[in-house]
Amino acid sequence: MKVDSPIGIIDSGAGGLTVVKEMLHRLPQEPIIYIGDTARCPYGPRPAEEVKNFTKEMVSKLSDMGIKMLIIACNTATAVALEEIRSQFSFPVVGVIVPGARAAVQASNLGNIAVLGTAGTINSGAYEDAIRDISTNSTIHPLACPDFVPVVESGQYHSEYASEVVKRTLLPLADVSFDAAILGCTHYPLLQEHIAKHLPEGVRIISSAVETIRDVEGILHEKKLARQSDQPVEPVFYSTGGADAFRLIVQDWLTIEEPDVRHIML
C-alpha cells in the first residue's frame, strides 16, 4: 500500500457523502474513490446476508483499484459486514457505528440516547452493543426510520414533504426523555434541518461523520499511510445507478460544481 493510493468510501447510495464532506474538510489532500450502490438502495429493509454480499462486491472493486484504506460509510453495512470485511482484506477498515456511539456517550449528560437508523441497523442492535461497551449506564431508545432514505435518494431532502415525513416518523419519541440523538444512518444528516426542528429543544444531534474522520486521521498516521502533500485532490464518485441524479446530490451537498461522477457495474 502506498501513501498516494486512494481511500475507498462506500455506501448504499448518497448517504456516505456526509462522510466525504467531512473528509474534504479535514483531509482534502487524501484521494477518495467513492462507490454508492444507488441501483440497489435502500439497504435498510434487506436481509443481513444480502447487505453483506453487496458490501463485499463494492469492497472487491475498490480493492482491485488499489485503495490503501476503506471507510464503510453506511451504518447498515457496518452493522452486518464490518468484521468479515476486516478479516478478508489487508487494508485498514473503519466503520461508522463505534465513532457515533462514542460521540453520543460524550454528548449526553442524562445517559438517555435516541438512536435513529434503518430497520437493518436498529434490528442488529449494533448501536446498543457499541454504547454499552463504552458506558454501562446508558438508556437507549432505538427508532427505525424507513421512510428517510427514499426522501434523500430522490433529492427531496430540502422539501416540505421531507419535513412532514420526519415529523411523522419521530412521533414515537414524543413522550421519551433523551438529551442526545444519533443519526445512525449516513443519509440522515441531509435531513438534519428537519430532524432538529422535530426533536425536543436542547437535544444534541450526533452525526458520526466527524468522529469517523478523526479515527481515519489517527489510523493514517499510526500506519504511516498519510499522504505527504498539501495539494487537494478531487474525489472520484461511482454510482451503480443513474449518474445524473447522483451528480445533482454531489453538487448540492458537497458544493462541487463539476464533480467526476461515473457509472459502475458491480
Closer to ligand DGL at the Cβ: 113 or 115? 115
Point out which span in 68-76, 106-114, 125-133, 233-241 binds ligand DGL (CB under 6 A).
68-76
Count of residues that interact with ligand DGL, criterion CB under 6 A: 17
240 near ligand DGL, judged by CB under 6 A: no
Q: Which of 8, 36, 44, 235 lies at the binding interface for ligand DGL (CB under 6 A)?
A: 44
What are the CA-CA distances from residue 121 to residues 43, 77, 154, 215 (Å)? 10, 8, 21, 21
- CA-closest candidate to residue 246, choices 32, 2, 16, 1: 16
- Which of 102, 187, 194, 247: binder of ligand DGL (CB under 6 A)? 187
124 contacts ligand DGL (rule: CB under 6 A): no
Instruction: Tell me the CB-side half-sphere exposure of residue 125, using CA atoms within 13 A.
Output: 3
The SS3 of residue 114 is strand
Whole-number Å distance between alpha carbons of 47 and 42: 11
Q: Is residue 11 a contact residue for ligand DGL (CB under 6 A)?
A: yes
Among 5, 55, 76, 207, contact with ligand DGL (rule: CB under 6 A):
76
Between 5 and 246, CB nearer to ligand DGL? 246
CA 105-49-145 angle, to 5 degrees, is 45
Q: What are phi and psi of 117, to 5 degrees?
A: -160, 180
Cell numbers 461515473 correspond to 262
Q: Can residue 42 be called a binding residue for ligand DGL (CB under 6 A)?
A: yes
Give the integer Cα–Cα distance in Å for 77 and 127. 13
Burial 103-121 (b: 16+ CB within 10 A, else e): bbbebbeebbbbbbbbbbb
Closer to ligand DGL at the Cβ: 91 or 127?
127
To ligand DGL, the closest distance from the beta carbon of 151 in angstroms equals 12
Tell me which of 5, 75, 108, 163 binds ligand DGL, using CB under 6 A: 75
In the complex, the smallest distance separating the C-beta of residue 206 from ligand DGL, rounded to whole angstroms, is 13
185 is a catalytic site residue: yes
Residue from the set 5, 38, 108, 118 that interacts with ligand DGL by CB under 6 A: 118
Q: What distance in Å separates the CA atoms of residue 246 and residue 263, rounded to the nearest whole number? A: 10
43 counts as binding ligand DGL under rule CB under 6 A = yes
Contacting residues toward ligand DGL, per CB under 6 A: 11-13, 15, 41-44, 74-76, 118, 121, 149, 185-187
List active site positions: 74, 185
